[in-house]
Structure 1
Amino acid sequence: MRNDENTGATRRDYLRYGGALLGGGVLAGCAGQSGDAASTATATETETTEAATETPESSYAAELSPVGTVTLDEPPTNVFTHFPWFPDMASALGRGDTVNNLWWDGTVAGLEYFTAGFDGFEIEWADAAGEYGFTKERLYELDSDLHLVDPAWVTAQDNWNRADVDEVADNIGPWFGNYYSNFNAAPPEEWADGYEYYDLWELFERVASLYGERERYEALQSVHDDLLGTVEDGLPTESERPTAAYLSVSTDLSSIYLLRLNAPGYWNSHTRPLGAVDAFGGAEFTGPFQEVDMEALLEADPDVILALWTVTETFDFDGLKRNLRDDPVGRELAAVQNDRVYPQGTRWQGPLMNLFQLEMTAKQLYPDQFGAWPTYEDGDDYPEFGDDEQLFDHGRVEGIVTDG
């Protein structure tokens, strides 16, 4: 247990867990305490919960599987993240300055590409990118108010176990994340019972509640709902939709990985609503992707190729298209012959990237219905579509994010 013998009340004391949390919470890990002490602690916990219930205006709470309910007495100001969708959420809520860590600096480049037209928008966590994975010592060093990471995923990493995540929640700050909703994958066995899945915007809603930014969330959710309505109204019949291959491919074609196109999970939140036909027939594979070769790609022969992680200055997209045209197999692909190989951002998207990627992919798949996607050259920013060409109001989103 946490030793508070020589400590006064700190901000950490105002961070509370409630509900069905990490296997019973702090008291469950203190088998040596006396019955009187346990009764006192239980009574105190009950009083605290009742107080929070009586004064909801002073609390920031959200419930999420697998952590249960997390309640804060004030919005977090020092937030640990690891995967890219959470920093995107923080920026969408006008709270990007709270992020103290993330993995993969490609997140920064991706969000810069999509939001290049926003005046007064700053990616305040741009210098917070680090390495994949983290240690308990690093979390103590950062001393975060909130860890936007799924504890079930953490326990699946080297040198982490259930006791470690409980210790961090008790001594530093709560966990809050749901990693396995990415493609509705199975969580570690010890977490599987009762593990629930969410879409991207359901997860965003809960993060917004912890930040006390419900109005911003609701405004962005309204834009998203309208965009989905526009897409649904404009989609051609299924028989008229193109076949598509969703790929992660190296510039030199030495590695080609197939990703899910229409599967559940927030990694497909910009492709699934568009309902294109999977060129690989919805092939099932156990992980997030499956390696294929050029011959398999030609056998599927998609009308459209969506090339993931290519709208960054570090990727040679022009070189990729050139190599496809020069390859004896690649040049036979319908998507290559018809110049329908398109750049994509990232499946690790938060709400901001999701809005733009929905618009982007709709134009790439259905130019006759939603307007053609312009030619992309390395280093380009997101196109400046006119008001009549936008599938959602870019200016409205800019205002929500920068002004509230």
Structure 2
Amino acid sequence: MLDDADENAEPTRRDYLKYGGALFGGGALAGCAGQSGDGATTTATETTESSYAAELSPVGTVTLDEPPTNVFTHFPWFPDMASALGQGDTVNNLWWDGTVAGLEYFTAGFDGFEIEWADAAGEYGFTKERLYELDSDLHLVDPAWVTTQDNWNRADTDEVADNIGPWFGNYYSNFNAAPPEEWADGYEYYDLWELFERVASLYGERERYEALQSVRDDQLTTVEDGLPPESERPTAAYLSISTDLSSIYLLRLNAPGYWNAHTRPLGAVDAFGDEEFTGPFQEVDVEALLEADPDVILALWTVTETFDFDGLKQNLRDDPVGRELAAVRNDRVYPQGTRWQGPLMNLFQTEMTAKQLYPERFGAWPTYEDGDDYPDFGADEQLFDHARVEELVAGGSL
């Protein structure tokens, strides 16, 4: 292992080139941004006209002299963001290759769209040696989360920021979870598109972000205008469920955080009463499902060829308890993508889920069979402008 950096050393050229003098150590923030009513930070900033800068808790302000060309990511929402900005070729690492399969499913209708980081998938976790080897301009990872991993501490994250390149991430906005105690003071939460805005600023792609945000705003307006009254909305269970029903995990449906960025705006009724539980999910069994008896079951991680969705539905029909579920009897068990969504998957998953929950309002979701691509909805059936997004990710006019 390389020696730890001397914390008393003079700032290096890389300190100024890559980190721009931003305050990182000690958990302090440089120039905290304003707060919206729900606690989310509302603006991203470019501190100079000639630099690429953004402010994010818990790292403060990060400033680059030029857009990053060699970017380390770990969690899937950041590679999705890079692709949305036409910068997918900058990603040198990610965890979980299921991200590739998920994005391939949703963007199958985009002519010439390439997931340029498809071969960058590795294992969960990473070492400091690996980061030195990659020598990235930017690490799109929350250092607060990094310090919870084996063989990492605050001194290690500071060393990487000083000697390689800055960190930029906010993991605990996933479901507004509590960060590690040493990072808790001043830790702020963001929604998915606020995080995307800040990444776009570092890439110098603010205009492309704004164009995509406009598409998202139009989608949310369409959804909001089309929702039925709350009294007429279905109950839904949002699950991670194995094909053989041996493991069933309940996820929050309407909770804050970017893991629910595609379900929360749809306002369906959580079949489990929005009950609170520790962590991102809670294990349940088929009997508990029947007690809640949701109108709709949303089955996470199932739109890839590696999951036997047809088998799942058949096993629910064959199970003596499962067959009694209203969602099973009415054929309202639907496939879902991933909660690890970036903006591209978020647009598609919002459309997908709206059709699954409210077919009479937004058009029915077609029957899904293993290996299908995302449906080719006509323009009058789309809940966002697919062609516009395809144009933007391909580098088209802003």
Question: Cα distance, 1:16 vs. partner?
Answer: 3.8
- Tell me, what secondary structure is at the counterpart of 2:25? coil
Contact 1:260 1:289 in 2 (8 A): yes
Question: Cα distance, 1:58 vs. partner?
Answer: 1.8
Contact 1:243 1:279 in 2 (8 A): yes
Provide closer, same or farther for how the CA distance between residues 151 and 37 of structure 1 changes in structure 2, counting only shifts above 3 A.
Answer: closer
293, 308, 322: which one aligns with 2:300 = 308
66, 70, 89: which one aligns with 1:74 = 66
Question: Cα distance, 1:120 vs. partner?
Answer: 1.6
Please say which structure displays the higher CA radius of gyration: 1
* d(CA) in 1 for partners of 2:57, 2:181: 15
TM-score relative to the length of structure 2? 0.91
Contact 2:44 2:197 in 1 (8 A): no
| Per-residue deviation, residues 173-200 of structure 1 (Å, max 9, x unmatched) | 0000000000000000000000000000
Question: Cα distance, 1:90 vs. partner?
Answer: 0.1
- Tell me, what secondary structure is at the counterpart of 1:258? strand
* d(CA) in 1 for partners of 2:258, 2:40: 41
333, 348, 351: which one aligns with 1:341 = 333
Provide closer, same or farther for how the CA distance between residues 75 and 283 of structure 1 changes in structure 2, counting only shifts above 3 A.
Answer: same
Provide closer, same or farther for how the CA distance between residues 335 and 73 of structure 1 changes in structure 2, counting only shifts above 3 A.
Answer: same
Provide closer, same or farther for how the CA distance between residues 338 and 60 of structure 1 changes in structure 2, counting only shifts above 3 A.
Answer: same
Question: Cα distance, 1:22 vs. partner?
Answer: 2.7
| Per-residue deviation, residues 87-119 of structure 1 (Å, max 9, x unmatched) | 000000000000000000000000000000001
| Per-residue deviation, residues 319-366 of structure 1 (Å, max 9, x unmatched) | 000000000000000000000000000000000000000000000000
Q: Which piece of structure 1 moves more, 27-36 or 149-158?
A: 27-36
Contact 2:41 2:194 in 1 (8 A): no
- Tell me, what secondary structure is at the counterpart of 1:372? coil
Contact 1:19 1:68 in 2 (8 A): no
* d(CA) in 2 for partners of 1:325, 1:39: 46
311, 317, 324: which one aligns with 1:319 = 311
Contact 1:15 1:145 in 2 (8 A): no
Contact 1:15 1:173 in 2 (8 A): no
* d(CA) in 2 for partners of 1:35, 1:336: 40
* d(CA) in 1 for partners of 2:46, 2:216: 40
Matches within 5 A, 1:5-404: 12=14, 15-17=17-19, 21-24=23-26, 57-404=49-396
Question: Cα distance, 1:403 vs. partner?
Answer: 2.3
- Tell me, what secondary structure is at the counterpart of 2:34? coil
Provide closer, same or farther for how the CA distance between residues 154 and 47 of structure 1 changes in structure 2, counting only shifts above 3 A.
Answer: closer
Contact 2:27 2:185 in 1 (8 A): no
Provide closer, same or farther for how the CA distance between residues 106 and 45 of structure 1 changes in structure 2, counting only shifts above 3 A.
Answer: closer
Contact 1:22 1:67 in 2 (8 A): yes
Question: Cα distance, 1:12 vs. partner?
Answer: 3.8
Q: CA RMSD in A?
A: 6.9
The number of residue pairs the alignment matches comes to 391
Question: Cα distance, 1:15 vs. partner?
Answer: 2.8
Provide closer, same or farther for how the CA distance between residues 37 and 356 of structure 1 changes in structure 2, counting only shifts above 3 A.
Answer: closer
- Tell me, what secondary structure is at the counterpart of 1:70? strand
Provide closer, same or farther for how the CA distance between residues 309 and 122 of structure 1 changes in structure 2, counting only shifts above 3 A.
Answer: same
* d(CA) in 1 for partners of 2:202, 2:47: 18
* d(CA) in 1 for partners of 2:88, 2:18: 23
TM-score relative to the length of structure 1? 0.89
Question: Cα distance, 1:18 vs. partner?
Answer: 5.2
* d(CA) in 1 for partners of 2:235, 2:134: 47
* d(CA) in 2 for partners of 1:69, 1:233: 37
Question: Cα distance, 1:283 vs. partner?
Answer: 1.1
Question: Cα distance, 1:26 vs. partner?
Answer: 13
Provide closer, same or farther for how the CA distance between residues 101 and 45 of structure 1 changes in structure 2, counting only shifts above 3 A.
Answer: closer
- Tell me, what secondary structure is at the counterpart of 1:184? coil
* d(CA) in 2 for partners of 1:36, 1:383: 35
* d(CA) in 2 for partners of 1:45, 1:326: 52
Contact 1:26 1:170 in 2 (8 A): no
Provide closer, same or farther for how the CA distance between residues 35 and 248 of structure 1 changes in structure 2, counting only shifts above 3 A.
Answer: closer
* d(CA) in 2 for partners of 1:337, 1:33: 46
Provide closer, same or farther for how the CA distance between residues 342 and 73 of structure 1 changes in structure 2, counting only shifts above 3 A.
Answer: same
Work out the percentage of aligned pairs sharing the same amino acid.
92
* d(CA) in 2 for partners of 1:92, 1:39: 22
| Per-residue deviation, residues 301-323 of structure 1 (Å, max 9, x unmatched) | 00000000000000000000000
- Tell me, what secondary structure is at the counterpart of 1:225? helix
Q: Which piece of structure 1 moves more, 26-35 or 310-319?
A: 26-35
Contact 2:237 2:271 in 1 (8 A): yes
* d(CA) in 2 for partners of 1:5, 1:237: 59
Contact 1:27 1:38 in 2 (8 A): no
Provide closer, same or farther for how the CA distance between residues 232 and 278 of structure 1 changes in structure 2, counting only shifts above 3 A.
Answer: same
Q: Which runs of 5+ in 2 are unaligned?
A: 1-5
* d(CA) in 2 for partners of 1:394, 1:31: 33
Provide closer, same or farther for how the CA distance between residues 299 and 16 of structure 1 changes in structure 2, counting only shifts above 3 A.
Answer: same
Q: Which piece of structure 1 moves more, 23-32 or 81-90?
A: 23-32
- Tell me, what secondary structure is at the counterpart of 1:45? coil
